[in-house]
């Protein structure tokens, strides 16, 4: 109950600054179950320890989060007016976002908080952690574009510690944030554009959450992952449709476009989930150009 009140107190602070967004968060939290609140307790304790470790106050983190919310609104207005994402070049968003430590810091702290505040982020994460153990025969694990590190952190907690973990990210700041957030010390942090990353290893498992929409050619990226994956290996990917953001450059109009891409790259979809960001069906969301989060476990065909 205490943790539920910790969550409620964060939501109340947000609602005070942004009543409209506070209203949405309160409505969404009502739809979540005890399993969520149990996880939220663990997550918030870890998040608060992480803030303490990195010297960022909760109020500042909330400010970062609200910046993110408002950037999203700003980009959505443009998206509804033009039907396109504002940016289309990786070079441009790399310079403005990934290579900009100040922007990236605010982005990562805000994004981490959204994990416990946004129903869709929690449901995608829950899909990942609920199914990951089914594939627990790995020797090595690669995470691409790990951002704040929540997913690979979960893997280190759920899977065996004799697995070799590599985390590749184009942003130095992201790697710094992830290293502070993740408790496990055995991860190799690699600062590289995934297209330039070369390794002699073939991976048993590759996780890549919300990266496909950040590149100009998602097919080339999936093919790159395929070249690094063992024949028996699995991939976990997530990507959204209709999700304008400060660094999204590739637009998926619906989840079928994602499935076609996966198929064209020679993968089978073993399991998948679609989570609209609003409380409507995926079909209605696609029609109204509203974001749907998509996640899947893939294997070689």
Partner 1 sequence: MENKEILLELTEIFADILDIDEVNLQYNTTANDIEEWDSLTHIQLIVAIEKKYRIKFTSIEIQAWKNVGDISNLIVEKLK
Footprint on this chain of partner 1 (rule: CB under 8 A): 17-21, 23-24, 66-67, 70-71, 73-74, 76-77, 80-81, 278, 290
* CB closer to partner 1, 217 vs 253: 253
Residue 65 to residue 145: CA distance in whole angstroms: 20
Residue 84 to residue 187: CA distance in whole angstroms: 37
Provide, rounded to whole angstroms, the least separation between the CB of residue 195 and partner 1. Answer: 30
* CB closer to partner 1, 158 vs 280: 280
- Contact (Cβ atoms closer than 8 angstroms) between residue 213 and residue 190: no
* CB closer to partner 1, 66 vs 99: 66
Residue 198 to residue 186: CA distance in whole angstroms: 20
Provide, rounded to whole angstroms, the least separation between the CB of residue 172 and partner 1. Answer: 25
Provide, rounded to whole angstroms, the least separation between the CB of residue 48 and partner 1. Answer: 25
Q: Characterize the bridge pairing of strands 164-169 and 187-191.
A: parallel
- Contact (Cβ atoms closer than 8 angstroms) between residue 201 and residue 132: no
* CB closer to partner 1, 69 vs 265: 69
Provide, rounded to whole angstroms, the least separation between the CB of residue 80 and partner 1. Answer: 5
Residue 44 to residue 113: CA distance in whole angstroms: 9
Residue 67 to residue 131: CA distance in whole angstroms: 33
- Contact (Cβ atoms closer than 8 angstroms) between residue 44 and residue 7: yes
* CB closer to partner 1, 70 vs 263: 70
Residue 34 to residue 164: CA distance in whole angstroms: 33
- Contact (Cβ atoms closer than 8 angstroms) between residue 225 and residue 294: no
* CB closer to partner 1, 218 vs 276: 276
Distance of CA 62 to CAs 18, 65, 69, Å? Answer: 11, 5, 10
Provide, rounded to whole angstroms, the least separation between the CB of residue 285 and partner 1. Answer: 10
Residue 98 contacts by C-beta under 8 Å, 6 or more apart in sequence?
A: 104, 170, 171, 173, 174, 247
- Contact (Cβ atoms closer than 8 angstroms) between residue 273 and residue 294: yes
Residue 43 to residue 65: CA distance in whole angstroms: 16
* CB closer to partner 1, 191 vs 289: 289
- Contact (Cβ atoms closer than 8 angstroms) between residue 120 and residue 276: yes
* Joined tokens for residue 284: 């209605």
* CB closer to partner 1, 17 vs 257: 17
Provide, rounded to whole angstroms, the least separation between the CB of residue 266 and partner 1. Answer: 37
């Amino acid at each position: 109950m205490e943790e539920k009140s910790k969550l409620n107190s964060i939501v109340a602070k947000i609602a005070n600054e942004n009543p409209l967004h506070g209203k949405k968060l309160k409505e969404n939290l009502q739809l979540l179950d005890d399993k969520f609140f149990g996880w939220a307790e663990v997550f918030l304790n870890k998040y608060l320890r992480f803030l303490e470790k990195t010297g960022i106050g909760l109020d500042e983190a909330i400010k970062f989060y609200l910046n993110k919310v408002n950037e999203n609104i700003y980009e959505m207005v443009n998206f509804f007016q033009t039907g396109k994402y504002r940016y289309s070049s990786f070079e441009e968003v790399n310079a403005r976002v990934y290579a900009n430590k100040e922007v990236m810091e605010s982005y990562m702290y805000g994004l981490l908080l959204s994990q416990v505040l946004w129903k869709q982020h929690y449901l995608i994460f829950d899909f990942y952690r609920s199914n990951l153990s089914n594939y627990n025969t790995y020797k090595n694990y690669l995470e691409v574009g790990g951002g704040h590190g929540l997913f690979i952190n979960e893997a280190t907690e759920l899977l065996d510690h004799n697995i070799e973990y590599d985390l590749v990210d184009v942003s130095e700041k992201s790697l710094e944030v992830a290293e502070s957030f993740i408790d496990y010390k055995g991860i190799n942090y690699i600062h590289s554009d995934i297209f330039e990353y070369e390794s002699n290893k073939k991976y048993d498992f590759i996780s890549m959450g919300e990266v496909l929409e950040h590149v100009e050619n998602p097919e080339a990226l999936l093919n790159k992952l395929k070249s690094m994956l063992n024949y028996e290996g699995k991939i976990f990917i997530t990507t959204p449709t209709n999700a304008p953001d400060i660094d999204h450059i590739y637009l998926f109009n619906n989840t079928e476009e994602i499935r076609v891409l996966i198929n064209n790259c020679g993968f089978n979809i073993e399991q998948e989930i679609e989570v609209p960001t609003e409380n409507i069906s995926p079909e209605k969301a696609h029609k109204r150009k509203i974001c749907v989060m998509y996640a899947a476990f893939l294997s070689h065909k």
